[in-house]
Amino acid sequence: MADVITFWHPYRDQALDSGYFAWGSVPAGSSADLPFRLHNSSTTATAAGVTVSTVDTGTTASPSVAAQHLLSTDGQHFTATLSLGDLPPAVSTAVLWLRRVTPADAQTGTFTFTVRAQIASWA
pLDDT in tens, 47-83: 999 999 998 887 676 777 888 899 999 999 999 999 9
Fold of 5-19+30-122: Immunoglobulin-like (2.60.40)
- Give the integer Cα–Cα distance in Å for 87 and 107: 38
- Give the integer Cα–Cα distance in Å for 59 and 110: 8
The answer to whether the predicted template modeling score (pTM) of the entire model surpasses 0.85 is yes
pLDDT band at 3 (very low <50, low <70, confident <90, very high): confident
- List the chain domain ranges: 5-19+30-122
Identify the CA nearest to 66 among candidates 113, 118, 27: 113
Identify the CA nearest to 15 among candidates 71, 92, 76: 92
**Mean pLDDT over the full length of the chain:** 92
Answer yes or no: is pLDDT of 108 > 90: no
